[in-house]
Chains A and B, each alone.
Chain A
Amino acid sequence: MIADSRLAPRRRLGGTAGILLTGFCSALAAGLLIVILGYVAIQGWGAINPAFVTQLPHPVGVPDGGVGNGIVGTIIIVAIAAVIAVPIGVLTGLYLAVYGRGLSAELIRFLAEVLSGVPSIAIGLFAYTICVKPFAHFSAFSASFAFAVLMLPLMIRTSEEAIRGVPTSIREGALALGLPDYGGVVHVVLPAARPLIVTGLLLAIARVTGETAPLLFTAFGSQFWELNPANPMAVLALQIFTYAISPYDDWHRQAWGGALLLILAVLVLNVGARLALGRHGKKS
């Protein structure tokens, strides 16, 4: 007599329930994005108009008013941060990729990983103690410094991976022509690694564009059109925070509008980075 070839009902049920449960959790996590995005879109859409993105903030009760200075401030601060972070990040990544053998390189990689988990507010405090306190006033530059430190781990890691991803045969091709180290790296290896490095840069920019905590005591915020990085400057994320915790309905409305702008910017950067990566992946 052959044993019953069907699975015991308990085992079958357990498996089905498990798959359903894990599937539900995935849907929950993915659904959250849709819920939050949807909510921000619905609430924020009404607040967005030409005045909102071009005008200065108005005092409570005065109609119109916008976050124009915050948008400009965000762009300035992030741009300066990128200018600081890109050379240090790419060169460190290059060092790790080309000469990165042994204990000291492992230690630097470890530090980069750990730095990526250090709370942004602690990095904001660091920026405060070395860029704000000595000059006795808040500045956009100090915010850029904090953002640059926040961008570094990601820049270092993606640069190292991008450069390691360039095939050895290409690197040896440059070597065999008699190019000096820097020549091979600058003219051959870096151009080949560029798409991936740009992807990393876009992701790093997306990461700091939404960052708020370090701004509280670096950029500080401003009611004016401020273009000088040595002065306090308005930043979109900071304006959202300030408006959200205020007691005024009109400001809440503006907070949703600002949140919609911010989330769109961050998502566009993320999706753009992924698309660039995908195209590159297919090509090679």
Chain B
Amino acid sequence: MSLELDSPRTVEVSQRGLTARQAIADRVFRIGLVAATLTFVILIAGLFAELVHGSWESLVAFGPKFLWSSEWNPVTNHFGALPFIYGTVVSSAIAILVAGVVGIAAAVFLAEFAPPAVARPISFFIELLAAVPSVVFGLWGLFVLAPFLGSTVDPFIQRYLGFLPMFSGGIYGIGLLTAGLLLALMIVPTVAAIARDLIQAVPNELREASISLGATRWETVVHVVLPSARAGIVGACVLALGRALGETIAATMVIGNRPAISASLFAPSYTLSSVIANEFTEATSSLYLSALLELGLILFVISFIVNGCARILMWSMLRSQGRRP
């Protein structure tokens, strides 16, 4: 089909192309997006590289033995991370045990049983709890929780369970158990809020199928809902564990800050992050500084692995239900 081409009108209009300024603006815009994204990626790479670079002296001096040596002596320049790893792992383990049970239970109640009028304010409070600054938790832990545990709860436990090594020894109020419980309070909101969302994401057909088989709502939750949200809930707990592992200020304020490994949960201890917080500005030798940076590197690697696993677990659950995370 042939037709005449250049009507006067089209000539006029086709000159109205992208002006040079628009073309430049469009280009700058695209470059800006890519540049911002690259900046972000470079920041993360830089974070890792700087920690490795800073701890190089210590990495060379102590090698892998750093991880299982328990001597931490700035005077003789001998550094080992074991007491801090121990304190970090034990306090976080206490935290996730307590917060896991309480948080998942709260999530079940909020998602399955509570009427909206009850669930909404409770959810709101729990989410605000997550916003309380850790230094405020630390302050409260130091002046309220620690004295309370030290004067009331710990002696009570010791009276009946004192034959166990974990409940033996002197009671100071501050120590591993106090730190673990305080960390538990801090991570309960993480477990509860994420687990609640994941439980709500379980398709309703599953619940209806179970109810129609004659199961009670409680049995439905225990045998059908929770198992199908299991991967995600485990992910939420691992994520919360990551928070506990890296929490610094609150732990520093109530754990006692003594680099010793003791079987007793009442004993003072030390975590990776709190030793950095306490000693970094006082580190005199470059090897000392480097050793502290290596503790930071360990913390970074652990949290990277733990968080990565948590995300993969939660994604796998949502993916398996055909949703976008």
Contact = CB atoms under 8 A, between A and B. Distances in A.
Instruction: State if A and B touch, Cβ cutoff 8 Å.
Output: yes
A180 B25 contact: yes
B198 to A, nearest CB: 15
A213 interface: yes
Main SS of the interface on chain A? helix
A136 B185 CA distance: 38
B136 A213 contact: no
Interface stretch (B58-66, B109-117, B161-169, B205-213): B109-117
Given A118-B304, A181-B30, A241-B135, A33 B125 contact: yes
Nearest to A211: B133
A119 B113 contact: no
A119 B299 CA distance: 7
Contact of A206 (B34, B131, B142): B131
A165 B106 CA distance: 30
B195 to A, nearest CB: 11
B242 A117 contact: yes
A31 B126 CA distance: 9
Interface stretch (A47-55, A60-68, A84-92, A223-231): A84-92
> Quick one: which of A94, A123, A185, A244 has the most chain B CB within 10 A?
A244
B121 to A, nearest CB: 8
Interface in B210-230: 216-219, 221-222
Nearest to B304: A114
A106 to B, nearest CB: 10
Interface residues of B, number: 90
B246 A121 contact: yes
Interface stretch (B4-12, B151-159, B276-284): B276-284
A134 B168 CA distance: 48
Interface in A96-112: 96, 98-99, 108, 110-112
Contacts of B189: 29
A172 interface: no
B248 to A, nearest CB: 4
A28 interface: yes
A110 B41 CA distance: 11
Given A18-B218, A19-B218, A119 B36 contact: no
Nearest to B217: A15
Given A126-B51, A209-B133, A270-B131, A21 B277 contact: no
Interface in B132-159: 132-140, 142-144
Interface of B: 18, 22, 25-26, 28-30, 32-37, 39-41, 43-44, 46-47, 50-51, 53-54, 101-103, 105-106, 108-110, 113-114, 121-122, 125-129, 131-140, 142-144, 185, 188-189, 192, 216-219, 221-222, 239, 242-243, 245-249, 253, 273, 276-277, 280-281, 293, 296-297, 299-300, 303-304, 306-308, 310-311
Given A28-B102, A118-B304, 11 more contacts: A11-B216, A19-B218, A25-B103, A25-B106, A27-B122, A119-B299, A121-B296, A240-B139, A245-B142, A262-B136, A270-B131
26 contacts: A14-B219, A15-B216, A15-B219, A18-B222, A25-B101, A26-B126, A28-B102, A29-B103, A36-B136, A87-B36, A94-B33, A95-B36, A110-B308, A111-B40, A111-B41, A117-B306, A118-B304, A118-B307, A121-B246, A122-B246, A122-B299, A129-B50, A182-B26, A206-B131, A211-B134, A270-B131
Interface of A: 7, 11-12, 14-15, 18-19, 21-30, 32-34, 36, 39-40, 43, 87-88, 90-92, 94-96, 98-99, 108, 110-123, 125-126, 128-130, 149, 152, 156, 180-183, 185-186, 206-207, 209-213, 216-217, 220, 237, 240-241, 244-245, 252, 255-256, 259, 262-263, 266-267, 270-271
